[in-house]
Structure 1
């Protein structure tokens, strides 16, 4: 996924955000699909609402998986660039996942910032009796990463690494 786009100016103490295109997202989902296929197709794809739903659906199509589910987990207070984080990730309506007992699950989000949302959600899925939980993100913002291990040791499938805020085409913040 390209990260060399000309970003808009930001405040002086933070790097300018990177604006991804639909072509970047297509390339990223293909990269992840290739990685996932090497380890066997999952039974179900779970997207973290909201940002993870588009890549989850795209990956499900690429992998030929019809069972796509959603879980709402948030760790920011808003949608803006450099939005503040909540103390801990918040989960709403985990029962919407249905029965995942014994299933191989691919958990998808658009980005891992601190890594807390993905780690929290993967733990929640494991607690539901899944046989296997694999994690996938389009990109990791290393500038916000707070987990004890490096991203590639904490996340199974990563399309790219970045060092700044990422703006996705579905966020409606592209002003070109």
Structure 2
């Protein structure tokens, strides 16, 4: 596979199908009170999930790892949190769903979850696609009580329908 090969090129229809699958699993475990999307890519599926679940409280947090939008782009050594205050406040009894578009190592999700854990009663993570090349290698930072929901997996780079083609 070359550096620019796209392993999974999602259409809007496929994205909607994966979000529907995520929503079904989440609904079975209880509707969250707050949906938080990881900016940028996680906001699209976060809003789609919030609509499917009937959740009106949707927020965003910027946690970045990749430095470019190019396939296999360079990454920072650790995920970078920008303006954690954007999460706002919520009661300690709040059920929170954290959403991202894609996860590689899981470090971005783990970093975002760590920001929320302790502030809410329950934190769950949903990701549309897991790139299994590095999944689990660095994912040990995530608090153990977190439930994950995964739409689909692939081996390699993912391009979402909102990305420039």
TM over 0.5: yes
Cα distance in structure 1, aligned partners of 2:18 and 2:6: 21
Closer, same or farther: CA 170–148 of 1 in aligned 2, 3 Å: closer
- Contact 2:50–2:56, Cα closer than 8 Å, also in 1: yes
TM-score, structure 2 length as denominator? 0.90
- Relative contact order, CA 8 A, sep 6+: which one is greater? 2
Match of 1:164 in 2: 156
- Contact 2:96–2:123, Cα closer than 8 Å, also in 1: yes
Match of 1:7 in 2: none
Cα distance in structure 2, aligned partners of 1:161 and 1:131: 29
Please, which of 21, 41, 55 is the counterpart of residue 51 of structure 1?
Answer: 41
Please, which of 87, 90, 94 is the counterpart of residue 97 of structure 1?
Answer: 87
Which structure 1 segments of 5+ residues have no match?
1-9
Cα distance in structure 1, aligned partners of 2:16 and 2:111: 27
Cα distance in structure 1, aligned partners of 2:103 and 2:109: 7
Match of 1:117 in 2: 108
Larger Cα Rg: Structure 1 or Structure 2? 1
How big is the alpha-carbon RMSD for the aligned residues of Structure 1 and Structure 2? 1.8
Aligned residues: 159
The structure with more strand, counted as a fraction of residues: 2
- Contact 2:105–2:139, Cα closer than 8 Å, also in 1: no
Please, which of 131, 134, 148 is the counterpart of residue 124 of structure 2?
Answer: 134
- Contact 2:128–2:151, Cα closer than 8 Å, also in 1: yes
Which structure 2 segments of 5+ residues have no match?
none
Match of 2:134 in 1: 144
Closer, same or farther: CA 148–67 of 1 in aligned 2, 3 Å: closer
TM-score, structure 1 length as denominator? 0.85
Match of 2:9 in 1: 19
Cα distance in structure 1, aligned partners of 2:6 and 2:36: 31
Residue aligned with 2:71, SS: coil
Cα distance in structure 2, aligned partners of 1:91 and 1:19: 28
Q: CA deviation at 1:144?
A: 2.7
